Amino acid sequence: GESVGLHLPTLSVQEGDNSIINCAYSNSASDYFIWYKQESGKGPQFIIDIRSNMDKRQGQRVTVLLNKTVKHLSLQIAATQPGDSAVYFCAENLYYGGATNKLIFGTGTLLAVQP
């Protein structure tokens, strides 16, 4: 399949370990954040989101942490599986006023799960 990104930061973990993927966002006015997973040759798949009035949200095997003080977002994946291997990237939502908002996407981190 095609690579969705060359020279991306890579996180290599053993199957069964927990993974933590980090993201620094750019704008303190951003009010909504999303994590996506992208497998090679496919479109991004929604994983989990969090609003700025929260600092933690949990899903199935995933947890997102938001630290607004340092503009940092992290995605924790419990008991990482080979099927979790993909590029993960965060997106921040910036409201531009009226009826317009935009998502700003990070470049991504490649998660490589070793069996």
Partner 1 sequence: DGGITQSPKYLFRKEGQNVTLSCEQNLNHDAMYWYRQDPGQGLRLIYYSQIVNDFQKGDIAEGYSVSREKKESFPLTVTSAQKNPTAFYLCASSTSVDSYSNQPQHFGDGTRLSIL
- Running DSSP on this structure, what letter comes out for residue 30? -
The owner of tokens 């929604």 is 46
Q: Which of 72, 92, 85 is nearest to 15 (CA)?
A: 85
Q: Does 105 bind partner 1 (CB under 8 A)?
A: yes
Region of 12-20, 55-63, 72-80, 89-97 interacting with partner 1 (CB under 8 A) = 89-97
Ranges within 13-72 binding partner 1 (CB under 8 A): 31-32, 34, 36, 41-46, 49, 51
Q: Does 112 bind partner 1 (CB under 8 A)?
A: no
Amino acid identity, position 60: Q
Residues 6+ apart with CB under 8 A from 41: 1, 2, 4
Measured from the CB of residue 89, what is the shortest distance to partner 1 in angstroms?
7
Q: How many residues bind partner 1 (CB under 8 A)?
A: 32
